[in-house]
Amino acid sequence: MTRVTVGGRLHFGFQNLSLAHERLYGGLGVALESPTVVVEATPADEVYCDDRCAREYARRTVDLLGVSGADVRVLHTLPRHVGLGSGTQLALAVFAAIARAHGREPSVREHAPALDRAGRSGIGVSTFERGGFVVDAGHPTERFTTDRPPRGDWSVPPVLARHDVPADWRFVLALPDAEPGRSGDDEDSSMRSAVERADPTIADDIASILVRRTLPSIAEDDPERFGCSVAEIGLRNGAWYADEQGGVYRPPVGELVTEMETSPAVFGAGQSSWGPAVYGVTTRQLADEAVDAARTALDSTAVGGDVLVVSPRNRGADMDGDERKR
């Protein structure tokens, strides 16, 4: 039996959505220790799995690897479509568990496109591989097509920059009781609409923030500057998505972000991916105050939900008992 454990991820946004620039997308994100996806797999004569989504990924994996089958159990999953990377992390965990169960090296970067992952952002794949804070290089703009390309007809974007996140940093998550974020065909349609009318000057602003503030701040262990810079990148991404999600943030995220940022313990807040997850950057020493700020934000906006404080994850997925050896 092989067990694979990996945490979720935050997605701070893209570097560019405009067809006027040479590279499209280019994601920024960070790996989280929790919540986690945990998948177990043993070889079998066909595919057995009680989880509908995992079963589809298992069937694709068996075909890709040319193996007989697998008995797959999903022990823990991420909240679905809230902005924590549930689809990609589950797909890659299933793939890796089956591959290792059959004695194969799990080349997730090679096979992720055939699992219908990393068509835009490579952050989920990169954080599964090595964790940390990641910036990917995006895709060549000339490969953009009006219609969705066939599954697997792309490569995972290469990693442009990766840094370990300082051990004292924390991320407070507010997960409001709201409609799930966009996924599947709905997400694809919204993204294509945003790309086709994206203002190219926004990408220039994001490039400046990323190079002059975000990357130096993580290299210099400056959580306040980091949090403010990724929040600004999120704001600029929101300008691209405003017509698709009903504003710079999707409701009720805007109210939560505004309220959380009033706390001195929260160094910038924003929406992860399509939301509704809201993140705030903080530190281990200020984590309790940041949690209080997130709970107050949920209460003051009359939105129920959960609040978590999570550590960054500076390693990739744990496999075959690696987690127990640490």
Contacts for 66 with CB less than 8 Å, ≥ 6 apart:
none
Query: Token pair for residue 206?
Result: 């994001």
Using alpha carbons only, what angle is made at residue 14 by residues 13 and 17, rounded to the nearest 5 degrees?
A: 130
**Residue 295's domain spans which residues?**
2-325
Q: Report the CATH number at residue 256.
A: 3.30.70.890
Copy the structure tokens of residue 178.
């709201």
Q: Which two structure tokens, joined as six digits, stand for 275?
A: 């939301």
Phi then psi for residue 41, to 5 deg, are -145, 140
Q: Which residues of 53-86 are buried (b: 16+ CB within 10 A; e: fewer)?
A: bbbbbbbbbbebbebebbbbbbeebbbebbbbbb
Give me the DSSP letters along 259-322. Answer: HHTTSTT---EEE-TTSS-EEEEEETTTHHHHHHHHHHHHHHTT--EEEEEE-B--S--EETTH
Distance, CA of 77 to CA of 46 (rounded, Å): 23
Write the DSSP string, 41-86.
Answer: EEE-SSEEESSHHHHHHHHHHHHHHT---EEEEEEE-PPTTSSS-H
Mean pLDDT by 10 residues, the chain (326 residues): 97 97 97 98 98 97 98 96 96 98 96 96 98 97 82 92 98 92 74 92 98 98 98 97 91 95 98 96 98 97 94 96 44
Sign of CA dihedral 211, 171, 185, 151: positive
Rounded Cα distance, 142 and 133, in Å: 27
pLDDT at residue number 185? 72
Q: Domain total for the chain?
A: 1
Which stretches within 139-278 are classed as H helix? 184-196, 200-209, 215-219, 223-245, 253-260
The sign of the CA dihedral 108, 114, 117, 123 is positive
What six digits make up the tokens of 248? 């710079």
Q: What is the DSSP letter of 166?
A: P
Model pLDDT, residue 181: 64
Which residues have a Cβ under 8 Å from the Cβ of 23 and sit 6 or more positions away?
A: 15, 16, 137, 138, 139, 140, 141
CB 49 within 8 A of CB 74: yes
Determine the pLDDT at residue 49. Answer: 98
- Report the distance separating Cα 275 and Cα 67, nearest Å: 37
